[in-house]
Amino acid sequence: MAADKKIGAYICKGCGLGERLDCNQLEKIAKTEGKVALAKQHDFLCSQAGVEMIKADISEGVTHVMIGACSRRAKTEAFNFTGVAIARANLREGVIWVRPDTDDARETTQEMANDYIRMSCAEIKFMTQPETSGEQGLIKHILVVGGGITGMTSALEAAKAGYNVSIVEKQAQLGGAAGQLFKRIPVRAPYQHPADTGIAELATAIAASDKIKVYLNATVTRTSGAPGRFSADISQESGSTVTEQFGAIIQASGFKPYDMNQLTEFNPDNADVVDQLGLEALAKAANGAAIKRPSDGKAVQNVLFIQCAGQRSQKPGHLSYCSGHCCSTSIKQAMYFKQYNPDIQTTVLFTDLRTPGAGGENFYRSGQDQCVTFLKGIAESVTPGKTGPKVKFDNLLLNETVEQEFDLVVLATGMVPNSGPNPYLEQELALAKEKKETEKVVVLEQELVFEKSKASILNLDYRQGTDMPQLVHGFTDSHFICFPYETRRTGIYTAGPVRRPMDIGQAMDDATGAALKAIQAIENSALGRAAHPRSGDLSYPKFRKEGCTQCKRCTVECPFGAINEDEQRYPQFNEARCRRCGTCMGACPVRVISFDNYSVDSVGQAIKAVDIPDEFSEKPRILVLACENDAYPALDMAAMNRSEYSAFVRVIPVRCLGSVNTIWLTDALNSGYDGAVLLGCQKGDNYQCHFVKGSEMAHYRMSKIGDTLTQLNLETERVETHEVAITDIQRIPEIINNMAKTIEKIGMSPFKF
């Protein structure tokens, strides 16, 4: 503890704390055991007077404020002091609200409060106000990879906000898939007719902008750095490579149409069977005149659109998902015919017509008004007929199988995301093999062949792979419903159909949102502020190089690929890529990683500060390490409902269960704790962990804690790890109480001193 630290301890007597607890004793403990410079009580600490009292002390030199009052989640506006470290002992939600107000309970309740004061005093000694590292950069320049409508929109929207953009496009011109369209689905009321694609307009605006640079026939061949200081090599077909510096990156690499040649049942070799982009080419060629079929140039009189061709299907090689836009696209394409000649027969063969929202339904209705025929049915096959492709289909409403010839058949095939190789597939495969999940292994092995065949989009020089992690089906989407842009690569955002199947309207919105996130990454990384979910956090992992054994656990376990290795194979933390979850700190076997305000010591010393009654006291001590995002709020809410739980627990909030270093458990058990409960978020495929892998890593590490317990000759039941949710307001107190019962059953730990 540095000499210039001056700790002030403040104990609130409001909300019943003064009546239920002996606050003089708390003050004394803070002084004598907590060794704080000054300790004060206040009847109503969060009042203006209380806050002023603390502020006056801060101006008199207090650098560290320990508040013994309500939960750290409450009264945050009042207890908001800049420039000092703050620790909060949760005496209200953590003690008096979860304990009965009875004479019998008074002693153990007081002990609980005493310990929380000890713990917070111990914690704060090891906290310092975080400061930025100084490795920040401010480059107001965004790299947009992909020059389709998503990339073009991102570039223009960012430029409109005053930021420079470079677009890197593989093709010889901007426009991407949207550039191949004749018209697009309308995005404005009254949503009745196909609209201009808008590509020409966007291209003109980009050409006119002095903030946007365009590289055509170009790819990104290397990306390094971090938000605020990315460096990218842009290589052009001509062979020249330029290196530019960027603050953030948007990947708008779009989609490829599913290869219709794989749908052999639909006679893909037939010239008059086309996919949706094929029809666009025909419509573009016709330019408002009669659309002619490819085989013989006959003006089409009768066209069938087969929806969900090779998608929403579990057949091998098909896409299991829905591409979202195809129903509206087929309606639009039917209108191409109807608007030239209303007598042309246009039939859409569908199972579910999916045109959601106000615009979607209006467009569908407009299709009906224009006499497009919608038929609920499933196409079985297409074969060459006498006058054109012959389609055999089941009419699901009349329950009959029909064979009919059309001049032209359009297959509504799906979107395949144009993502780079999945960086985690090999890891997943290895894990599936380890767990002997044979079915999954087969699937993953096939996927791996496919992924390895893909070209990298970003060529990141990251330790954890060249490209963006994927969610499912190759899409680089976020797993979070509330946070759709949160990727696992800080400062790199994906937008458009590479993220999720979507139509142009949604892609343009998505592009604009991604531009916001890119700008935000630039502005925050320049200030050393963390990105979501610990937005604004200035702390970052620091490490003691002398102690590092180069075991690489931190570089492997970081859920965000933030940590690289330097030339000497030491971890390189890349502060701006870090999300501050502390998973590296939890992983480090030699405990050389810490944050200024959160470290192995700050938690470890709090654990050790607890007073451990002797073996015969019948007062066990149970350590609860609770994820501050879900488990801890749930405990607060249990307290608001006045649920009771054991007075023998001592709860410590952690940034993420992934930050839990096993030394905390070992030390706790060695120093006489009788049990420990770890509360984290749901892990696995449907994870709810805000740091993606933190909870999973913690569970994995804790699966080995049994060995430690056995070595200590302790029962393995003494440590439990649970997946909980913020809604487990009733369940978490039960988990805690069950542990208390378990301890009662197996007895106290012999490690009391």
Partner 1 sequence: MTEVVATNQTIVVVGGGISGMTAALEAAECGKQVILIEKNPSLGGRVSQLYKYFPKLCFPTCGLEINLRRIKANPNISLLTLAEVTAVSGQAGDYSLTVKIAPRYINSNCTACGACADAVESTFPNEFNYNLNQRKGAYLPFNMAYPQRFVIDPRMIGTADADKAKAACKFEAIDLDMQPEELKLKAGAIIWATGWQPYDANKIQPYGYDRFANVITSVELERMMDPQGPTGGKLVRPSDGKEAKDIAFIQCAGSRDRNYLKHCSRICCMASLKQSTYPREKFGAEGKSTIYYIDIRAIDRFEDFYQKVQADTTVNFIKSKVASITLDKATQNPILNGNDLEKSGTGKDMRYSNAHDLVVLAVGMQPSVDFKAMNLGLSVNDEGFIELDPANGGQFAAGCASDALDVNRAVQNATASALRAIQVINQVANAEG
Question: Cα–Cα distance between 593 and 548 in angstroms, integer?
Answer: 9
Q: Is 75 in the site for partner 1 (CB under 8 A)?
A: yes
Minimum gap (Å) between residue 303 Cβ and partner 1: 22
Among 184, 312, 463, 718, binds partner 1 (CB under 8 A): 312
- What angle do the packed helices 357-369 and 326-340 form, to 10 degrees? 30
Q: For residue 480, state whether it binds partner 1 (rule: CB under 8 A).
A: yes
Q: Which of 25, 129, 321, 712 binds partner 1 (CB under 8 A)?
A: 321
How far does Cα 178 stand from its chain's mean position? 29
Spell out where 247-344 has E strands: 248-251, 255-257, 273-275, 302-306
Least distance between partner 1 and beta carbon 20 (Å): 12
Could you tell me which stretch among 1-9, 297-305, 451-459, 511-519 binds partner 1 (CB under 8 A)? 511-519
Choice from 135, 426, 523, 611 touching partner 1 (CB under 8 A): 523
For partner 1, the binding residues in 5-24 under the rule CB under 8 A are 14-16
Minimum CB distance to partner 1, residue 12 (Å): 9
525 binds partner 1 (CB under 8 A): no
Hey, is 676 helix, strand or coil? Answer: strand
CA distance 607 to 646: 18
Q: Is the CB of 559 or the CB of 675 nearer to partner 1?
A: 559
Q: Name the DSSP class of 456.
A: P
* Alpha-carbon gap, residue 2 to 683, rounded angstroms: 39
Cα 343 to Cα 490: distance, rounded to the nearest angstrom: 54
Tell me how far the alpha carbon of residue 554 is from its chain's centroid: 19
Given candidates 509, 601, 611, 644, which one binds partner 1 under the rule CB under 8 A?
509
Name which position in 63, 307, 506, 605 contacts partner 1 (CB under 8 A): 506
Beta bridge partners of 213: 166
Q: Is 360 in the site for partner 1 (CB under 8 A)?
A: yes
In the range 122-181, which residues lie near partner 1 by CB under 8 A? 157-158, 160-162
Stretch that binds partner 1, among 165-173, 446-454, 506-514, 693-701 (CB under 8 A): 506-514
Distance CA 334, CA 303 (A): 8
Tokens of residue 543, six digits: 């490490």
**Between residues 237 and 400, which has the closer beta carbon with respect to partner 1?**
400
DSSP designation for 697: H
- CB closer to partner 1, 75 vs 650: 75
Nearest distance, CB of residue 681 and partner 1, angstroms: 8
Give the residue from 98, 80, 96 showing the smallest Cα distance to 88: 80
The yes or no reply on residue 322 touching partner 1 (CB under 8 A) is: yes
Query: CA-to-CA distance for 705 and 711, rounded, in angstroms?
Result: 10
- Of 118, 318, 354, 701, the residue at the interface with partner 1 (CB under 8 A) is 354
Least distance in angstroms from the C-beta of 316 to partner 1: 16
Check residue 3 for interaction with partner 1 (CB under 8 A): no
Query: CB-based contacts of 434: which residues, under 8 Å, 6+ apart?
Result: none
Q: Distance between CA 24 and CA 21 in Å, rounded?
A: 9
Bridge-partner residues for 9, per DSSP? 39, 66
Nearer to partner 1, 197 or 629 (CB): 629
∠ CA 469-563-489, rounded to 5°: 30
Indicate whether 404 belongs to the interface with partner 1 (CB under 8 A): no
Residue 656 found at the interface with partner 1 (CB under 8 A): no
Is 502 a binding residue for partner 1 by CB under 8 A? The answer is: yes
Q: Is 323 in the site for partner 1 (CB under 8 A)?
A: yes
User: Residue 226 CB, nearest distance to partner 1 (Å)?
Assistant: 18
The residue (of 118 and 699) whose beta carbon lies closer to partner 1 is: 699
Q: Rank residues 361 and 403 by Cβ distance to partner 1 and give the closer one.
A: 361
Tell me if 357 contacts partner 1 by CB under 8 A: yes
**Of residues 699-728, which lie at the interface with partner 1 (CB under 8 A)?**
725-727
Degrees (nearest 5) of the Cα angle 217, 323, 687?
A: 100
Q: Are 476 and 419 in contact (CB under 8 A)?
A: yes
Angle at the Cα of 726 from the Cα atoms of 722 and 730, rounded to 5 degrees: 75
Distance CA 238, CA 280 (A): 31
Beta carbon nearer to partner 1, 44 or 340: 44
CB of 621 to partner 1, least distance (A): 28
Question: Which amino acid, residue 571?
Answer: P
As measured in angstroms, the least distance from the Cβ of 367 to partner 1 is: 14
Q: For residue 10, give the amino acid letter.
A: Y
For partner 1, which is the closer residue by CB, 456 or 506?
506
Which candidate, 265, 284, 195, 290, places its Cα nearest to that of 409? 265
Instruction: Specify the residue, 71 or 223, whose C-beta has the smaller distance to partner 1.
Output: 71
State the nearest-atom distance from the C-beta of 519 to partner 1, in Å: 6
362-381 binders of partner 1 (CB under 8 A): 362, 365, 376
Nearer to partner 1, 369 or 707 (CB): 369
Among the listed residues 2, 172, 208, 482, the single contact to partner 1 using CB under 8 A: 482
Q: Minimum distance from CB of 31 to partner 1 (Å)?
A: 26
Distances (CA, A) of 369 to 172, 289, 524: 40, 21, 51
Going residue by residue from 678 to 697, which x/- string records binding to partner 1, judged by CB under 8 A?
A: ---xx---x-x-x-------
- Distance, in Å, from the CA atom of 753 to the CA atom of 749, rounded to the nearest integer, reads 11
* CB burial of residue 360 (10 Å; 0-12, 13-18, 19+): buried
Residues within window 247-276 making contact with partner 1, judged by CB under 8 A = none
574 binds partner 1 (CB under 8 A): no
Q: How many Å apart are CA 632 and CA 94, to the nearest integer?
A: 10
* CB contact set of 117 (below 8 Å; sequence gap of 6+): 9, 11, 26, 29, 30, 34, 66, 68, 89, 91
Given candidates 371, 472, 551, 590, which one binds partner 1 under the rule CB under 8 A? Answer: 472
Task: Compare residues 96 and 607 and give the one whose CB is closer to partner 1.
Answer: 96
Residue 524 CB, nearest distance to partner 1 (Å)? 7
DSSP string, 603-646: HHHHHHHS----TTSS---EEEEEETTTHHHHHHHHHHTT----
Binding residues for partner 1 restricted to 183-202, rule: CB under 8 A: 187-190
CA gap 688, 684 in Å, rounded: 9
Decide: 724 and 630 in contact? Cβ < 8 Å.
Answer: yes
Does 209 help bind partner 1 (rule: CB under 8 A)? no
Structure-block tokens of residue 601? 């010591």
Give the footprint of partner 1 on residues 635-654 (CB under 8 A).
637, 640-641
d(CA 374, CA 11): 72
- Cβ 517 to partner 1, closest distance in Å? 7
Does residue 288 bind partner 1 (CB under 8 A)?
no
Q: Does 540 bind partner 1 (CB under 8 A)?
A: no
Give CA–CA dist 109/66, Å, rounded. Answer: 20
513 binds partner 1, rule: CB under 8 A: yes
- Position 358 contacts partner 1 (CB under 8 A): yes
Contact with partner 1 (CB under 8 A) among 179, 528, 633, 658: 633
Contact 195, 173 (CB under 8 A): no
- Can you tell me which of 485, 560, 595, 645 binds partner 1, judged by CB under 8 A? 485
Q: Which of 259, 400, 403, 707 binds partner 1 (CB under 8 A)?
A: 400
Nearer to partner 1, 2 or 482 (CB): 482
What DSSP letter does each residue of 504-546 carry, written as one string? HHHHHHHHHHHHHHHHHHHHHHHTT---TTSTT-----EE-GG
Which of these ranges, 462-470, 509-517, 548-556, 654-662, lies near partner 1 under the rule CB under 8 A? 509-517
Name which position in 536, 547, 589, 684 contacts partner 1 (CB under 8 A): 536
